Structure 1
Amino acid sequence: MSNFAENLASLPAIDHLDALELLHGDTVQARMENKQGQAGSLRVYHALYQEFGCINAVAADKGLRLYAEHTEDARANPGKHPNIDRLFAVDAAQPFAVRLIAK
C-alpha cells in the first residue's frame, strides 16, 4: 500500500504554478498556494485537474486515494484537513472548475 509521500513524488511538478483556485461558476470556493503547508495539496489537485479536467466525483475519489493515510485521519478528525474534507463533499451535480495561476 502506498503512502502520501510516495504518491506525491509520482505526480507532475508544480514549479510553474503560483496557485490553483477551485470555482463554482465565477465564485472562488478555495485557493491553494505553492507554499509550505499547501504545496502537497496543490500538487494533488493539479494532477487531478490534468487527468479529469475538473474536480468531479471520480477525481475526488482518486484524490482521496492519493492522500492515502491522511484520508483516514481526515475522516476521524473533520476540519483538520480542509483540502481532503473538500473531496469528501464534492457534489456530482456541480464539480469544481479549476483555475491555474502561473508564476
Structure 2
Amino acid sequence: MFADNLKSLPKVSHLDAIQLIGEGSEPVATIENKPGQAGSLAVYNHLAQVFGAINAEAAKRGLEIYAEHTEDARLNAGKHPNIDRLIAIAEADAPALRVKHVFAV
C-alpha cells in the first residue's frame, strides 16, 4: 500500500518543493511540501536521489511506490497529475525530467 511505501522513503522536511525541468530550462511542474502534495514530493525526491532524474526506469519504480493510486490514476485520467506524469514517461515515451530541489530556509 502507498501509505506503507511512503514510510520507507526519506523524509522531506528540508524541502519546500521540487521543480521538474523538461527539455528546456523552465520548470514544467512544481510539487510543493504541503498537504495533498507531500507524498508526491517524497516519491519524486526518492526517485531523483536513486536515479538522478525522472527517466523511464525511475517512473516505473514510482508507479510501484504509488501502489493502489496508480490503478486509480489509470482509471481516472487527470485525477493524479503526478502519477499521470510517471505513466507518460514510463509507458508513452515522454521525455525524462530533471529535478531541482528547492530547500526550506
How does the TM-score come out when normalised to structure 2? 0.92
Give the distance between the partners of 1:35 and 1:17, measured in 2 at CA.
10
- CA distance in structure 2 between the aligned counterparts of 1:19 and 1:94, rounded to whole angstroms: 21
Stretch deviating more after TM superposition (86-95 or 70-79): 86-95
Work out which of the residue numbers 19, 22, 33 in structure 1 matches 2:20: 22
Quote how far apart the aligned CAs of 1:72 are: 0.3
Structure 2 counterpart of 1:8: 6
* Alpha carbons 1:74, 1:81 under 8 Å: kept: yes
Which residue number corresponds to residue 44 of structure 2?
A: 45
User: How big is the shift at 1:27?
Assistant: 1.6
Q: Identity of paired residues, percent?
A: 57
Change beyond 3 A, Cα 1:59–1:34: same
RMSD value over aligned CA atoms? 1.1
Q: Structure 1 length as normaliser, TM-score?
A: 0.94
Contact 1:56/1:92 (8 A) holds in 2: no
Runs of at least 4 residues of structure 1 off by over 6 A?
Answer: none
Residue equivalent to 1:95: 96
User: SS in structure 1 opposite 2:100?
Assistant: strand
Q: Are 1:69 and 2:68 counterparts?
A: yes
Q: How many residues align?
A: 101
Task: Specify every segment of 5 or more residues in structure 2 that has no aligned partner in the other structure, as ranges.
Answer: none
Q: Structure 1: which 5+ runs fail to align?
A: none
